């Protein structure tokens, strides 16, 4: 093991080299053709399919499954991608168990839904592995659009606008495109560089230029973009992290979970990423689960996920909670952090137990910790933005903001549910509204 200079209990290389590859292998291995046909055969091909309504991008699920069943997976992929250009990523990271599969008639009747997510991956992978882009760009309109953020919302918007014939310039603060898909999702959900491969495939439509390491506010202003382009779409996500107002919050070993996940996703060798022996993750969402599970997979001995409410109030799905438990993560509920103890570096974290009505019981407990990961939500960064609502950009209709010629979607916009698939839908719908506005 290689000790970390930041905290005595934090070290890199806790596992043998081969263990990292095993631990971070594909969470849901791809179906082979026979498995896909068997899974597709279970679909009832409902006329008014509830799974379509449950999908934020409204993919015609019975149609694409029928296309798989009849041996035309590339046609199935086009059905999917016509509604959701990032259907390959969404097939990997969507909480299908609470969306389309929860609404599946087979789930309601038998408790065993059609494997919609895995079938979607089978179809989209089949097409993208061939390098085929099934859409053709329309004749140039002469209109230009600026997109801020190369994440799911921004790229979805950019692709649809480019397909309609507009010239799109995407500005992104990071050195690589992909946004959340590249920097914020657990490595075992998107192994083997899939996020970048999907972006490269998406850009085959043409008409899209990406300017990296260019942040809104620091490098370019919204007023400047609104002046230089015919329309602007804001899809930069949430760049800030909620503060943890806690005694000892500044000690060595206290990190933001989003930074921990991003470092892991970008690490050339996972064995080089330091992880604690006793890790505590504070939060109850998908980011908290991703950080906790990956800490365990990196070799942490004890990992505790602490949430202030009950498990039924966690934003992470039951599937994600069960995944964490299956990997050895202890889920501690009704626990609110009160203080972080240690001499310079983290040694312990103190919690108070709370009731369901969020009143303290007065009972406290201390847990050993040499690394604490904060996953308590993110905030919108930026000045001179359109009007806000609840800390996010206020939008009406298909993403229209209070500034003329400026649209917004994804995590930075109010009203969404912070899912990749929802961000894709909002980017797509904003693009259609922008197109209608530009073309009169």
pLDDT for 382 equals 85
**Count of C-beta atoms within a 10 Å radius of residue 309:** 15
**Could you tell me the pLDDT band of residue 340, with boundaries at 50, 70 and 90?**
very high
User: Are 311 and 321 spatial neighbours (Cβ–Cβ below 8 Å)?
Assistant: yes
pLDDT for 288 equals 97
Secondary structure letter of residue 17 according to DSSP? H
Give the count of alpha carbons within 13 A of 149, CB side only.
Answer: 32
- Residue 366 phi, psi (nearest 5): -110, 140
User: Are 395 and 235 spatial neighbours (Cβ–Cβ below 8 Å)?
Assistant: no
290, pLDDT greater than 60: yes
Distances in whole angstroms, Cα of residue 199 to Cα of each of 71, 186, 227, 260: 27, 18, 28, 23
Terminal alpha carbon distance of the chain: 63
Quick one: average pLDDT of 130-152? Answer: 97
Instruction: Kindly compute the dihedral angle of the four CA atoms of residues 119, 329, 423, 139, in this order, to the nearest 10 degrees.
Output: -50
What percent of the chain is predicted at pLDDT more than 70?
Answer: 99
7, pLDDT greater than 80: no
Quick one: average pLDDT of 380-391? Answer: 92
pLDDT for 4 equals 63
Instruction: Answer whether 43-128 and 144-239+380-438 agree in fold.
Output: no
The sign of the dihedral angle between the CA atoms of 268, 93, 421, 291 is negative
pLDDT for 76 equals 98
Secondary structure letter of residue 387 according to DSSP? P
Give the 3-state secondary structure of 229-290.
CCEEEECCCCCEECCCCCECCCCECEEEHHHHHHHHHHCCCHHHCCEECEEEEECCCHHHHH
User: Are 138 and 154 spatial neighbours (Cβ–Cβ below 8 Å)?
Assistant: no
Mean pLDDT for all residues in the chain: 96
- pLDDT digit string, tens, across residues 26-69: 988 899 999 999 999 999 999 899 999 999 999 999 999 999 99
155, pLDDT greater than 90: yes
Residue position matching structure tokens 């309609």? 164
**pTM given for the model:** 0.95
Q: What is the pairing mode between strands 254-256 and 371-374?
A: parallel
333-339: which pairs have CB atoms within 8 A and are 24 or more residues apart? 333/307, 333/309, 334/307, 334/308, 334/309, 334/310, 335/306, 335/307, 335/308, 335/365, 336/308, 336/360, 337/244, 337/246, 337/282, 337/306, 338/246, 338/247, 338/364, 339/246, 339/247, 339/248
CATH topology of domain 2-16+241-377: FAD/NAD(P)-binding domain (3.50.50)
Quick one: average pLDDT of 188-211? Answer: 96
3-state helix, strand, coil in the chain (%, to 5): 40, 20, 40
The two structure tokens encoding residue 90: 């969404």
pLDDT for 176 equals 97
Distance, in Å, from the CA atom of 76 to the CA atom of 91, rounded to the nearest integer, reads 13
Q: Which of 39, 72, 76, 41 is nearest to 60 (CA)?
A: 76
- Domain boundaries, given as residue ranges, for the chain: 2-16+241-377, 43-128, 144-239+380-438
Distance, in Å, from the CA atom of 41 to the CA atom of 261, rounded to the nearest integer, reads 38
Quick one: average pLDDT of 361-380? Answer: 96
Distance, in Å, from the CA atom of 401 to the CA atom of 390, rounded to the nearest integer, reads 14
pLDDT for 381 equals 86
CA angle, 260 as apex, 185 and 313 as ends, to 5°? 60
5, pLDDT greater than 60: no
CATH topology of domain 43-128: Fumarate Reductase Iron-sulfur Protein; Chain B, domain 2 (1.10.1060)
Bridge partner residues of 279 (DSSP) = 303, 371
pLDDT for 17 equals 85
Identify the helix (H) or strand (E) that includes residue 165. none
The two structure tokens encoding residue 52: 């379509």
Compute the chain's Rg from CA coordinates. Answer: 22
Strands (E), 72-195: 144-148, 167-171
- pLDDT digit string, tens, across residues 200-232: 999 999 999 999 999 999 999 999 999 999 999
148, pLDDT greater than 80: yes
- pLDDT digit string, tens, across residues 387-425: 999 999 999 999 999 999 999 999 999 998 889 999 999
**Could you tell me the pLDDT band of residue 440, with boundaries at 50, 70 and 90?**
confident
254, pLDDT greater than 60: yes
- pLDDT digit string, tens, across residues 88-99: 999 999 999 999
CATH topology of domain 144-239+380-438: FAD/NAD(P)-binding domain (3.50.50)
Quick one: average pLDDT of 152-158? Answer: 98
**Could you tell me the pLDDT band of residue 385, with boundaries at 50, 70 and 90?**
very high
Quick one: average pLDDT of 260-268? Answer: 95
What percent of the chain is predicted at pLDDT more than 90?
Answer: 93
């Amino acid at each position: 093991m290689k000790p970390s200079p930041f905290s005595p209990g934090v070290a890199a290389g806790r596992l043998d080299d081969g263990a990292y590859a095993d631990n971070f292998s594909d969470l849901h291995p791809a179906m082979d053709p026979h498995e896909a046909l068997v899974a597709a055969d279970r679909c009832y091909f409902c006329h008014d399919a509830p799974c379509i309504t449950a999908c934020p991008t409204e993919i015609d699920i019975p149609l694409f499954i029928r296309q798989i069943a009849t041996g035309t997976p590339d046609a199935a992929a086009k059905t999917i991608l016509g509604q959701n250009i990032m259907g390959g990523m969404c097939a990997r990271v969507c909480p299908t168990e609470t969306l389309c599969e929860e609404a599946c008639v087979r789930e309601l009747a038998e408790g065993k839904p059609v494997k919609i997510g895995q079938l979607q991956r089978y179809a989209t992978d089949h097409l993208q592995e061939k390098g085929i882009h099934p859409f053709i760009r329309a004749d140039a309109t002469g209109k230009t659009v600026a997109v801020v953020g190369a994440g799911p919302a921004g790229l979805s918007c950019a692709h649809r606008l480019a397909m309609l014939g507009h010239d799109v310039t995407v500005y992104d603060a990071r050195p690589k495109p992909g946004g959340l898909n590249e920097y914020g999702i657990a490595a075992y959900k998107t192994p083997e560089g899939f996020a970048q491969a999907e972006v490269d495939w998406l850009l085959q439509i043409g008409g899209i230029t990406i300017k990296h390491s260019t942040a809104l506010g620091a490098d370019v202003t919204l007023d400047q973009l609104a002046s230089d382009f015919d329309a602007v779409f804001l899809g930069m996500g949430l760049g800030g992290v909620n503060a943890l107002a806690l005694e000892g919050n500044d000690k060595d070993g206290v990190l933001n979970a989003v930074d921990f996940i991003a470092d892991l996703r970008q690490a050339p060798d996972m064995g080089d990423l330091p992880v604690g022996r006793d890790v505590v993750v504070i939060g109850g969402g998908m980011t908290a689960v991703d950080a906790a599970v990956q800490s365990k997979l990196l070799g942490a001995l004890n990992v505790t996920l602490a949430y202030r409410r009950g498990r039924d109030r966690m934003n992470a799905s039951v599937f994600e909670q069960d995944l964490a438990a299956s990997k050895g993560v202890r889920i501690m509920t009704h626990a609110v952090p009160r203080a972080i103890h240690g001499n310079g570096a983290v040694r312990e974290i103190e919690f108070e137990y709370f009731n369901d009505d969020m009143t303290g019981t007065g009972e406290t407990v201390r847990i050993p910790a040499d690394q604490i990961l904060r996953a308590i939500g993110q905030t919108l960064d930026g000045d001179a933005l359109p009007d806000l609502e609840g800390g996010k950009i206020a939008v009406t209709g298909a993403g229209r903001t209070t500034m003329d010629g400026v649209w917004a979607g994804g995590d930075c916009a109010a009203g969404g549910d912070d899912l990749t698939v929802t961000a894709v839908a909002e980017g797509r719908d904003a693009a259609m509204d922008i197109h209608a506005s530009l073309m009169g």
